[in-house]
Amino acid sequence: MTAPLTPSRPIDGGSESELPAVRLMPKANARAIRHGFPWVYANELVTDRRTRKLTPGALALLEDAERQPMGLVSVNTNSKIIARMLDRDPAAVIDQAWFERHIRRALRLRERLYDAPFYRLVHAEADGLPGVVIDRFDDTCVVQPNAAWAEALIEPLCAALVAVTGATNVLKNAGGRTRALEGLDDVNAVLAGAAPEKPVPVRMNGATYLADVTGGQKTGIFYDQRPNHAFAANLSRGARVLDVFAHVGGFSLAALASGASSALAVDGSGPALELAQGGAEAAGVADRFATRQGDAFDVLAALRAEGAEFDVVICDPPAFAPARPALEAGLRAYERVARLAAPLVAEGGILGLCSCSHAADLAQFRVASVRGIGRAGRHGVLLHTGFAGADHPQLPQLAESGYLKSLFFRL
């Protein structure tokens, strides 16, 4: 097991310590960091020869420009986020016990929120573990260590996870986009126990979903949309539902569980649609469920040409604007989705549009959506704005933690 790591510089006249110190530049916003912002960008840190030699993920004591200690950070000079705050206490010890405290605190919240152990257990910075995502599927946990420090300390992290939750299987998912930005590989692994041989059934909002925790997108399911699935389902009783970018049937299966008359799930992934079909069969709603594989934009256009009409249309695409350089193209893509989807909505029907893009804020996404609806010749009122579920808490100081937006219009 990885040895405990302790602060490296003398604090208040203490003895020489084991870890190096890194220092903010005078222009850095030290006040924001003191008030809870968890990141230091590469242009805010003094990167002398000694700092550049640090192993990616190494721990260090962060000092302000006047050399006053600010806390314990991880450092990765390969990343634009060069330092991540781990603990405001410069004397913190990052060991299994430290991980257990954070995971136990996160678990207490989820156990207050949900009756069954299916949820996002750790949501990165908001749960005090920067860059770490853990989704729980009963006795199986899937960990995404998307920052170099978490990869380096994966052994005590895994041991703490098992100790706190009693999980028998812990899988590492290395498919996160940010891992490449951290200089990390994309090799998945089994950290404890064994990988489930079959998709894991997950009950949410009365529906049954099948999560492929080893080969599916992300960790196998999108827990963040749970409350938005529920909102759309409440509007779907007796309705004809179209679920575009459906993955394993998130909106469509919840709608059927709530009494929708029919649901069509559209996705480019055949395996995802097979899981959606399996979920429909498991819930006994397969007679009202259909799938259609293909490029979502092409299918939307084809459905219009066929004269198709639905009472509820939901579009939940992947992140079209995952980073700022992709923002303009991403907003045009969201506008296009709205323009193609709106004509398929019956008079008085519901159009739900979702974005999981970090770079596109709520106002920008709303403008793109409204513009697309208008260019389709439709008019609507905004009924509801939804966000990620409470198992995806937001860190108020970090706008990126509030990535998910869902807009529901009545056209």
Nearest Cα neighbor of 45 from 68, 9, 21, 72 is 21
Phi-psi region of 50 (alpha: psi -120 to 50; beta: other; left: phi over 0): alpha
Under 8 Å between Cβ of 229 and 316: no
Closest CA to 345 of 304, 403, 382: 304
In the residue annotation, 354 being an active-site residue is answered as no
Q: How far apart are CA 178 and CA 231, in angstroms?
A: 31
Q: How far apart are CA 359 and CA 331, in angstroms?
A: 10
- C-alpha of 80 from chain center: 20
Tell me the C-alpha distance between 87 and 5, whole Å: 12
Residue 383 neighbours by CB under 8 Å, 6+ apart = 350, 408, 409, 410
Q: Sign (positive/negative) of CA torsion 69, 74, 77, 80?
A: negative
Choice among 141, 315, 354, 356 that is catalytic:
356
Which H or E run includes 103? helix 96-113
For helices 250-257 and 226-234, give the axis angle rounded to 10 degrees: 50
For the chain, count helices (H), then strands (E).
12, 19
d(CA 59, CA 42): 16
Catalytic residues: 356
